[in-house]
Homo-oligomer: A and B are copies of this chain.
Amino acid sequence: MVAAHRSCPGYVDEPFATLVAQYPGPEAYPPADFRVEWGPVFHRGRLDGSARVLVIGQDPATHEAISRRILVGEAGQRVQGLLARLGITSSYVMLNVYLYSVFGQAAGYRHVKDAGVVDYRHRWIDAVLLESEVTAVIALGTLAKRAFGLWEDSSPERTARAAELHIAAVRHPTYAEGSAMASGQPLEDTTAAQLADWSAQLPALSAAVRPEVTPNPKPYGTSWAEQDLVAIPEQDLPPGTPEWWRAVDAWAVRQGADAEEKRATIKVTVPKGARTWPPL
């Protein structure tokens, strides 16, 4: 008997079947600011009501355009490690502020309040938060915090639901890299700052979440340790997708001789450690 594989069943049940049928396109997401051409990527995690934590990220990155689930690349592995510290191994759901990958750094800030973006995002947040088991929301970065605030303030029902939740607005999982690039500070310093922020949030977050396994909310060090990154569970990706799509080694990169080609191209490469074939 072969081992049983787990996989994400997708969007069959309502309201998700309707949501994935009605996603907005370029009329809401201008192609100058979003990589609409790669299609929307909706979520990762449980849609069956079993989620105890909602994670809100920003926008799908390179790997996610291929895997069709969000927070699968390095940022996702870091978040998975944060959830592991809370004793959460599968009872989570993740959404992004944006359905499409942001094109250009500044573009991300311009559209967080756009009606076409907000309306659809609110339907998703409703679907995973109202009448759910979620007790804590982890907002990754300032845009995610803002997006959750917009939802919270948009109706009395949503405000009341938000009041029941612990909201942890943490630094984005790749804050350190972005901040170092923008400010010229050493990456070691911005990494330490990010990890200090995550460490500071851990006690209250852990107290607000009913764990699935024994939690381990010990503070992070001043740099990423190997065990701080956790591979994406098999049950989070569609059936049959390769194991290395969920692993820590990077496997997708945008590539091109000029800006046009780079926007048009993603190179997918089996990492060396996953090349299980006999030497060629």
Query: Which residues from chain A sit less than 8 Å from chain B, CB to CB?
Result: 1-2, 4-7, 9-12, 17, 20-27, 31-32, 35-42, 66, 68, 99, 103, 238-244, 255, 258-261, 263-270, 274-280
Contacts and interface: CB of A to CB of B under 8 A. Distances in A.
A264 B260 contact: no
B264 A275 contact: yes
B239 A263 contact: no
Interface SS, A side:
loop
Nearest to A258: B280
A1 to B, nearest CB: 8
B267 A23 contact: no
Contact of A31 (B4, B5, B242, B277): B277
Contact of A24 (B2, B263, B269): B2
B278 A31 contact: yes
A22 B5 CA distance: 6
Contacts of A263: 270, 275, 277, 280
A229 to B, nearest CB: 22
Contacts of A1: 22
A244 B37 contact: yes
A22 B4 contact: yes
B21 A238 contact: no
A115 to B, nearest CB: 13
Nearest to A256: B269
A266 B268 contact: yes
A265 B268 contact: yes
A264 B270 contact: yes
Given A11-B239, A20-B239, A264-B269, 4 more contacts: A7-B11, A103-B277, A263-B270, A265-B268
18 contacts: A4-B21, A9-B10, A10-B10, A10-B12, A11-B239, A26-B276, A31-B276, A32-B278, A40-B240, A66-B66, A68-B240, A258-B280, A259-B280, A263-B277, A263-B280, A264-B270, A265-B267, A265-B270
